Amino acid sequence: MVASDAKDFIVCEGVKKWFGDFQVLKGVTTTVKEGEVVVVIGPSGSGKSTFIRCINRLEAHQEGTIIVDDIELTNDLRNIEKIRSEVGMVFQQFNLFPHLTVIDNITLAPLWVRKNPRSESEQIATELLERVGIPEQADKYPGQLSGGQQQRVAIARALAMRPKVMLFDEPTSALDPEMIKEVLDVMKELAKSGMTMIVVTHEMGFAREVADRVLFFDYGEIVEDGTPEHFFTNPQHDRTKLFLSQIL
Amino acid sequence: MTDRIITTDISETPPEPPPRSTAHWIRENLFPSLGSSVLTIFATGIILFGVSGLLNFLMNPARRWDAVTFNMRLLMIQAYPVEQFARVWVSVGIVFVLLGFSLAVYRVGGKISAHRLGQTVMTVGISIGGAFVLGYLNLQPFFNIDPGGGSVTPKATVIAVVVGAILAAIGWGLTRVKNPKEERIPVMAVVGVLLGLVIVAMWTVKLPVPVADNEVVYQNVASSTAIPWTVIIILSAVGYVVGLLASRSMGEKAFAIVRRTLVALWVASFPVIVLVILRDPEVDMGKTFGWYLPLALGFGLIGGALLFYLAGSKAGEAGRAIAALIVIVAAVSFFFPMEFIVRFLLVSLAVFALGAHTFGGEGSARRAYLTVWGIWVVVLVYMIALVATPSTIEVPGSFFLGGLFLTFVLAITSIALSFPLGVLLALGRTSTMPIFRIMSTVYIEVMRGVPLITWLLVAFLMLPVALPQGVELGGVMRAIIFMTLFSAAYLAENVRGGLQSIPRGQYEASEALGMSTVQLTVFITLPQALRAVIPALVGQVIALFKDTSLVTIVGLFDFLHIARQVIPNQSTPFNFLGSIRETLIFAAFIYWIFTFTFSRISLRLEKKLGVGER
């Protein structure tokens, strides 16, 4: 649970974004507090992935403001690199570096971006592999691992930078049903440890169990914003009701 | 993590394939349909007539093979002074010993089954016997490359058939040993036996040596090559055994150091062989201690101290300003007269200063960066000093090397230099900065749009005019420069293909971790791109190796020039006028041996690097 006096970590004000003429985000305004776990759900093409990709500027928003840890995201390269090193991200397709071993995947950024000594980076990496449950895979290449193991390596890789917030972009969508659980278990453990998290997912069970808050996106807007209890049992908006009736 | 419940394994071994008769195999693979049967017969005819005609051509008494054997020294290294030949043998020896050692360290060559070896030996035996029988039959229906024909004598045919039959019998015997399909014969042992046979052959086989015009006697291979080759082959075998022992007895970590040293030795061997051993520079002690050594020390230490500061994480904005200042100093240095070596060092320092923030850090990264700087300064100063020192080898003509050695120097130098340039051009062409993109694109298109032979003519006719006064470049240097520039353009396009094959997610993942563009390129995209284009790169290396023969047009005495121009025009001490067909066949054979080896190496590399691929 989030302390009531927790600091606002991510503040979005009227964020708008277009792909060509098509408006993906139509003025998103929301705040994420430190330690909060926010789950973003919504139909395909509703702009939820674009929204979290704006938070570490993999996509540039065109109007509105995004402030992460008191730094505003602008075109200033130094701000972007600073924010990126504090915001961890996990992708749907894992995006591990196929030419590097698991341990090198994890230590690369701490070594060269954080400038940590190698021994320290390797120690952290070993601890993280322990934490995500695959310490024995350290010297393998990503191609030799299962999807679930790859995604856990990707989580460890993001955590190795000691981020203050973690973004998850549909982390289980590319996995076999048998492997979804092992990734969700890691994410649950992470949420319990107090990490600030924004998770785009279709896993309703995860949302119900772990989320502090659920955002429902549709047509580039936040339609519903509330606790999981409120969201699943007493949705206000017709669109939300329709969505829930189709998936539950 | 997840516990798996494994059910009882009920899988079975695959069924034995039903036995097939040879007739069945022939029907299925050679005569499956009417059209295929026609093609099979047609192709067989071409092979039979081709082998017969070629053999008769090669064995014709009119062939002057003595033109090749007598001029072997000329073909290999042109006019290198005979009394200095120890240098050549030492060079060849270094390469062979390194080769033997590397083959063991990289565990080249697995094991094959007696069955497979037997089949190969049988094939060789049957081919030799069959070829001579075909030659004796003298099938020449529609092309007549050997007027008169009948050059394959009955005696030669009988010998070949007997040898072929013996080989076939040995091969057949091998396929009949116990467990013939078990893979237990090391390939390298077979290679060892073959090399042993080569040594024996060198001491027994006789080659034609001319004693007078159109009169040859058959003598043993001159002892000037038999002794050194025997020593070199034995040494390389020793190198192999030492490597094998090292790889078996050493720990993983120590062995990794051995492998790294080996790579360094290979890289160092080429400049050392060419610039030190073969060139034998006349070292000027005064200049070495009075100029080069202080220069290296000064740049190494003062530059090192500067880089130590810049590579630390505390340098920040002040560091960037200092780096920019060094870049300006390096640029300005080109407007003032000074030795080129100083400019090279200044430019290097500027590049290192710019990269200091990206590749530096605390502890090991910082130390590694400084080490690289130190090595670079030493290597750069050493190489420039060597090139600038005159050679003591007295050779008629402009360059001390010729023949196959010159071909190798041209090829290896151009490939080594064009590699970094090509990668830079590829990065420039895919860059988001328009100035780099346009410059690289224009360069690549212009360079590729003009034939290499034209560029070589430019190098020889126009470059001397364009150079600043007082700067003179030798012919070999000019050829190398333009072959490098040309090859880099092609390399760049290959590498660009690799860069474009990298999925978007790799960029996003690296950016999300906060990597800068340079780090992203060096650690993520470039290694993957280069791996993806290895086949194309090796193709490029092979092409460049063969393209070196174009320098014959500008009068350099490379391998082909000697084979095509020099020997066929020789009239003293023996009359070899018109022996061009023999020399060209020999040249083609030598080019083929090396290009074929390259392509085999490439196959191996592809397999090896495929390990970590998704």
pLDDT, one tens digit per residue, over B565-605 is 888 888 877 888 888 889 999 999 999 999 999 888 888 77
Contact with chain B for residue A84, Cβ under 8 A:
yes
B400-409 pLDDT per residue, tens: 788 899 999 9
Residue B62 has what pLDDT?
80
Contact with chain B for residue A23, Cβ under 8 A:
no
Kindly tell me if the per-residue pLDDT of B141 is higher than 70: no
Contact with chain A for residue B199, Cβ under 8 A:
no
Alpha-carbon distance B612 to nearest alpha carbon in chain A (angstroms): 5
Alpha-carbon distance A6 to nearest alpha carbon in chain B (angstroms): 25
Alpha-carbon distance B58 to nearest alpha carbon in chain A (angstroms): 50
Contact with chain A for residue B392, Cβ under 8 A:
no
Residue B282 has what pLDDT?
82
B144-180 pLDDT per residue, tens: 555 666 778 888 899 999 999 999 999 999 888 888 7
Buried b / exposed e across A196-224, counting CB within 10 Å, b at 16+? bbbbbbebbebbeebbbbbbbbbebbbbb
Q: Sort out which chain A residues have CB atoms less than 8 A from B612's CB and list them.
A: 98-101, 141-143
Nearest by CB: B612 against A99, A116, A157:
A99
Residue B135 has what pLDDT?
87
The answer to whether B528 and A99 have CB atoms below 8 angstroms apart is yes
ipTM above 0.95, yes or no: no
> What are the CA-CA distances from residue B154 to residues B64, B162, B265 (Å)?
21, 12, 52
B504-545 pLDDT per residue, tens: 999 999 999 999 889 999 999 999 999 888 888 888 889 999
Q: What is the pTM of this model?
A: 0.85
- Tell me the average pLDDT of chain B: 86
B174-227 pLDDT per residue, tens: 888 888 788 888 888 899 999 999 888 888 888 777 777 777 778 776 567 888
Nearest by CB: B523 against A101, A112, A119:
A112
Closest chain B residue to the Cα of A58, Cα to Cα: B508
Contact with chain B for residue A117, Cβ under 8 A:
yes
Measured CA to CA, the distance from residue B269 to residue A192 in angstroms comes to 59
Contact with chain A for residue B253, Cβ under 8 A:
no
**Cβ contact, residue pair B514, A161, below 8 Å:** yes
Q: Which of A73, A99, A150 is the best substitution to test chain B (most B C-beta atoms within 10 A)?
A: A99
Nearest by CB: A97 against B2, B358, B524:
B524
Choose among B126, B64, B72, B50: nearest CA to B559.
B72
Choose among A237, A224, A89, A93: nearest CA to A163.
A89
Residue B63 has what pLDDT?
82
**Cβ contact, residue pair A87, B512, below 8 Å:** yes
Outline where chain A has alpha helix (H): 48-55, 77-86, 102-112, 118-131, 147-159, 177-192, 204-210, 228-233, 238-247
- Integer-rounded Cα radius of gyration of chain A: 18
B240-290 pLDDT per residue, tens: 999 888 888 888 888 888 888 999 999 989 988 888 888 888 888 888 888
Tokens at residue B562, please?
């000697």
